[in-house]
C-alpha cells in the first residue's frame, strides 16, 4: 500500500476511503508503473479505470476506435 485517499462521489453523500497501490500495466508493447485505487468493480462494466495522469504522457485516445492493441 502506498497511501489512502478520500474519494468524494457525486452519487453518494459523504466520501469513501480507498487504498492506493502502485503496479505495472501493459497496453500493447508498453509497460508502465502507475497508481490504482482499490475498489470492488465486479458489478461494473469496466474492471479498471485509467486516469488522465497516466494517459497524459503514455497514450493517445481515439474514442471512435475500440480494441486497437493486440492482446499480449
- pLDDT of 57: 79
C-alpha cell at 34: 502507475
Q: What is the pLDDT of residues 24-67, one digit of tens each?
A: 988 878 888 889 988 888 999 988 888 888 888 777 888 899 88
pTM of the model: 0.66
Mean pLDDT of 13-20: 85
- pLDDT of 65: 92
Amino acid at each position: 500500500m502506498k497511501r489512502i485517499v478520500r474519494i468524494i462521489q457525486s452519487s453518494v453523500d459523504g466520501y469513501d476511503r480507498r487504498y492506493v497501490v502502485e503496479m505495472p500495466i501493459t497496453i500493447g508493447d508498453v509497460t508502465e508503473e502507475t497508481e490504482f485505487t482499490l475498489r470492488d468493480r465486479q458489478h461494473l462494466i469496466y474492471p479498471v479505470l485509467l486516469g488522465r495522469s497516466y494517459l497524459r504522457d503514455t497514450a493517445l485516445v481515439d474514442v471512435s476506435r475500440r480494441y486497437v492493441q493486440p492482446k499480449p
